[in-house]
Amino acid sequence: MWLNLTDVNISNNNIGLLPRKLGAFRCLRRLNLSHNCLSRYSGWVWLKEPCIKRTLRFLDISNNSLLELSEYIWNLNALVELKISHNMLKRLPQGIENVRNLSILDLSHNMLMYLPAGIIYLRLQTIDISMNPLVINRPKFINEIIIPSLTQFAAKVLYQYCRDERIIFRWDDLNEHISRNKIDNCFYCGNICTSPYVYAAELLKPIFELAVTVIKQTSEWPVVFYELYYCFPECREDYW
């Protein structure tokens, strides 16, 4: 019967590891995991389960002292409200644009310096960016060339091939390697960055255009930079 639960609140515990079976809830719409001890390695693979991807509308993982956020969180296609406030996040993983139904996003009380570029494609009703040290001056490392290792290159090429050919990707060792070494997609062409690629922080959209309601800590509008990747330097030139 527990698989039919629609609302689960397990906040204010000392939970540090999440079982994969959490993703098997067939009807779960609201999940509160706030005020726990979650980390980057708390077993976020449950976010990839088909059931949870289709049903979960509300997720609260605030107050967990998270240093990193798993990229699997953007697998939640039905998510409408996400609360990740009061953590220690310095960046958000790429791929937020995949959560097309996201309407309310609470990023407050973190350590974010930039926002992911994909956020400009969402139609948010409310976003809270208060109490973050968002960069307001153009950073010095605006165009940083990243050269992947040979292992990363091989893993990413294989991953790209399987994705393009719609081949089911079930090699545990390679999946584990890829999860530890984030996959960056080119903002321009959408392909996985395999060869030397560019990391950049750009001015893409004024913060007041991101949502109907923008919550910030001052009356002035901050100038926010968005971080993104280009698989080749030429892609940046083509885009601009």
Of 37-46, 67-76, 195-204, the poorest mean pLDDT is in 195-204
Percent of the chain with pLDDT over 70: 77
Of 40-49, 83-92, 160-169, the poorest mean pLDDT is in 160-169
Question: Is the predicted pLDDT of residue 238 greater than 60, yes or no?
Answer: no
For residues 49-73, average pLDDT: 93
pLDDT on residue 239: 54
pLDDT interval class at 132 (50, 70, 90)? very high
Of 12-26, 99-113, 153-167, the poorest mean pLDDT is in 153-167
Full 3-state SS string of the chain: CHHHCCEEECCCCCCCCCCHHHHHCCCCCEEECCCCCCCCCCCHHHHHCHHHHHHCCEEECCCCCCCCCCHHHHHCCCCCEEECCCCCCCCCCCCHHHCCCCCEEECCCCCCCCEEHHHHHCCEEEEECCCCCCCCCCCCCCEEEECCCHHHHHHHHHHHHHHHCCCCCCCHHHHHHHHHCCCCECCCCCCECCCCEEEEEECCCCHHHCEEEEECCCCCCCCCCEEEEECCHHHHHHHC
Considering the four listed CATH numbers 3.40.640.10, 1.10.10.60, 1.10.3720.10, 3.80.10.10, the one that applies to the domain covering 7-135+203-221 is 3.80.10.10
Give 171-226 pLDDT, tens digit per residue: 545 555 555 455 677 888 877 776 677 888 888 888 889 999 999 887 778 788 89
Give 221-231 pLDDT, tens digit per residue: 878 889 888 87
